[in-house]
Homo-oligomer: A and B are copies of this chain.
Amino acid sequence: MVSWFRRSRLRTPAPTLPSRDTATAATRVDLHELTPATDVFLGHCAALHLTFFEQLSHAVANAPRVAEKDALAQAAATALARYRGLVAEMERLKLDTTAVMEPHLASVQEFERRTMGADWHEQVASAHVTIGFLTDFWVRLGAGLPRETRENVETALRVGDLEQPLHGIVEKAIAANPRLSSRLALWCRRLVGDTMLQARSALVVHTDRARDEEQIEPVFTELIAEHTRRLDRLGLTA
């Protein structure tokens, strides 16, 4: 699918680029040419994970019952453990964690505000959708990092599991109140735009924008496919 996109592009003239359409590219699409400098990557990713923690903590506070509070508190702890993993990597590299994260705070907080949702159900759906999407994205964006940092980042972002518990909570909420379905389906569709913008804001931009887009497109195609599967499993197909 991805290679089909690229081949069809090579037939068209203009911004001709060296073909990256090889078997390796097809089996593993990543964003290694668009990975920012290590400190920028870590600062942004860590700031974002603090935001994930905050988002999940709000959901804990607003959860109607103990069972949901408990599950969301675990999820918040997982987000925090991932954040700590990223901080540990900054410390290993002797980076000033505060200085490195600070420039990204305003943007991730604005993102958090925009994707917060009007009530608890939307908050949990947001957390599920945006954290799922952005974690997958950030793992792929890590492809261009120095090997040891890349491995440590991947390990940090794979700590625990957020996908299943968040899926479980949203699924149960919909089962208890089927009328939620259409509202949450609409809300999750709306989230994609802001989430993609947040992801794009982390990419290095080259003068050759068309070539950047060639690398971006297949990755986002995959991420959106994964997003759709996530909603499918909740019966929230777009």
A residues touching B (Cβ–Cβ < 8 Å)? 47, 50, 53-54, 57-58, 60-61, 65-67, 69-70, 73, 76-77, 80, 83, 87, 97-98, 101-102, 105
Within 8 Å by CB of A66, from B60, B65, B98, lies B98
* Inter-chain contacts of A70 with B (CB < 8 A): 50, 87, 97-98
Chain B residues near A58 (CB, 8 Å)? Answer: 57, 61
Q: Is the CB of A60 within 8 A of B54?
A: yes
Give the distance to chain B from A93, nearest Cβ to Cβ, in Å.
17
* Bound Cα distance A80, B53 (Å): 13
Complex CA–CA separation, A210 to B65 (angstroms): 38
Specify which chain B residues have a CB less than 8 angstroms from the CB of A47 in the assembled complex: 66
Kindly report which residue of chain B lies nearest to residue A68, judged by CB atoms.
B98
* A57 and B61 alpha carbons, distance in the complex (Å): 9
Task: Tell me if A54 and B50 are in contact (CB < 8 A).
Answer: no
A60 touches B53 (CB 8 A): yes
Complex Cα–Cα for A53 and B53 (A): 12
Chain B residues with Cβ under 8 A from A54's Cβ? 57, 60-61
Q: Which residues of B contact A80 (CB under 8 A)?
A: 73, 76-77
Whether the Cβ atoms of A60 and B57 lie closer than 8 Å is yes
A-B contact pairs, 23 of them (CB 8 A): A47-B66, A50-B60, A50-B66, A50-B69, A50-B73, A53-B60, A53-B76, A54-B60, A54-B61, A57-B57, A57-B58, A57-B76, A58-B61, A65-B98, A65-B102, A66-B98, A66-B101, A66-B102, A67-B98, A70-B87, A70-B98, A76-B76, A76-B80
CB distance from A96 to the nearest CB of B (A): 10
**A104 (CB) vs chain B CBs: closest residue:** B66
Shortest distance in angstroms between A181's beta carbon and chain B's nearest beta carbon?
26
A70 to B105, CA, bound (A): 12
Besides the contacts A57-B76, A66-B105, what 13 more A-B pairs have beta carbons closer than 8 Å? A47-B66, A50-B70, A50-B73, A53-B76, A54-B61, A65-B102, A66-B97, A66-B101, A70-B87, A76-B76, A76-B80, A77-B77, A77-B80
Q: How far is the CA of A41 from the CA of B54 in the complex (A)?
A: 29
How distant is A89 from chain B, measured CB to nearest CB, in Å? Answer: 14
Question: Nearest Cβ in chain B — how far from A62, in angstroms?
Answer: 9
